[in-house]
Amino acid sequence: MRLLIIEDSERLRRSLALGLKRSGFAVDAAADGEEGLAFAEINAYEAIVLDLMLPKIDGLEVLRRLRQQGNPAHVLILSALDRVADRIRGLDLGADDYLDKPFAFEELVARLRALVRRHYGEKDPIIRCRHLELDTAAKSLRSRGRAVALTPLEYSLLELLLRRRGRVLSQTEIQERLYDASAEIASNVVEVLVSTLRRKIQLPGSPSLIVTRRGQGYLIEAD
């Protein structure tokens, strides 16, 4: 799941990006409103973490423009402005959530997971598909009740394919969702990733859950 952080405090931006990446998100970070808008125009994000008091273009204006452009990303405002009027203004302009600074990192991650679920129209944090149960809160996978160890990237790929069940995802789309703009990616990285994931979730004697469509991409078919 790919996130954008727009935050002018360099130290906060850095620690947030690090923490969220380690929590399984692909994260891009922008230092001001102008840069944030440019990122949002180029990439597709499930959620955007937005500070309000930003240089160049302030956070509320960024939000207004995002909504004007029809950007579907869910926006979580992360601000030191904690007055009720500030929250109302932000939510009325199209934000999906509001968190005051200082905040608990765990809470931010939980809220972002909730926003991602909402992005895909889901409420249950556990995604079930045939013999698999993916717990998006615990970031864990069980196959026929047994735990399966996944790397963060394998987990993110499986979550992406399960959330978009029945839809073909191209290699480019998968790359964009799993890797942030700063990542250096080898050309066959998605193929390798799909291959290792297949092996981990494959049941002996049954057809592969992840289907390859030649020239198009990959999908998990809907039940």
Partner 1 sequence: MLSIRRALTGTLLAGSLFAVVLAGIASSLAVEKLVRREFDRSLLAKAELLATLTEQDHGRVTIEFADEYLPEFSTADPREYFELWAGDGRVVERSRSLARKSLIRPPRFELAPRFSDLVLPDGRAGRQVQLGFVPQTEGDDVDPDPSTPNTSGPRALLAVARGTQDLDRLVLALYGIQLATALAIALGIGLIVRRGVTRGLAPLADLARQVESLGSERLASRFAVDPPIEELVPIVARLNDLFARLEQAFARERQFSANVAHELRTPIAELKSLAEVGSRWPNDPSVAGPFFADALAIADRMERTTDQLLALARAEAGLEIVVRERVGLAELVEACWAPFAATAAERGLAFDREIAAGSALTTDRTKLERILSNLLANAVEHSPAGSRIACSADRDSKGALHLEVSNLAPQLEPDDLALLFVRFWRKDPARTGSEHSGLGLAVARSLADLLAFDLTAHLSAEGRLAVRLDEVAAGP
Decide if residue 81 touches partner 1 (CB under 8 A).
Answer: yes
Which of these, 18, 5, 25, lies nearest to 155 by C-alpha position? 25
21/203 Cα distance (integer angstroms)? 30
Residue that the structure tokens 């700063």 belong to: 182
Q: Interface with partner 1 includes 10 (CB under 8 A)?
A: yes
Tokens of 152: 């963060």
Q: Which CB, 44 or 53, lies closer to partner 1?
A: 53
Regarding 110 and contact with partner 1 (CB under 8 A), the answer is no
Sorted by sequence, the CB contacts under 8 Å of residue 150 that are 6+ apart come out as 141, 158, 197, 200
Which of 38, 42, 69, 106 forms a contact with partner 1 (CB under 8 A)? Answer: 106
Indicate whether 6 belongs to the interface with partner 1 (CB under 8 A): no
Q: Which residues pair with 2 in a beta bridge?
A: 26
Q: Which is nearer to partner 1, 100 or 122 (CB)?
A: 100
Q: Which residue among 70, 84, 85, 102 contacts partner 1 (CB under 8 A)?
A: 102
Give me the least distance between CB of 80 and partner 1, in Å please: 4
Neighbours of 90 (CB within 10 A): 23
Q: Per this entry, what is the length of the chain?
A: 223
Q: Is 148 in the site for partner 1 (CB under 8 A)?
A: no
Distance from the first to the final alpha carbon of the chain:
23
Residue of the chain from 38, 42, 44, 80 that contacts partner 1 (CB under 8 A): 80
Asked whether position 8 contacts partner 1 by CB under 8 A, the answer is: yes
User: What's the token pair of residue 215?
Assistant: 């020239």
- Contact present, 177 and 2 (Cβ < 8 Å): yes
- Nearest distance from C-beta of residue 183 to partner 1, angstroms: 13
Of the candidate residues 42, 72, 88, 103, the single one contacting partner 1 (CB under 8 A): 103
List contacts with partner 1 (CB under 8 A): 8-12, 14-16, 18-19, 22, 31-32, 51, 53-55, 58, 80-82, 100-106
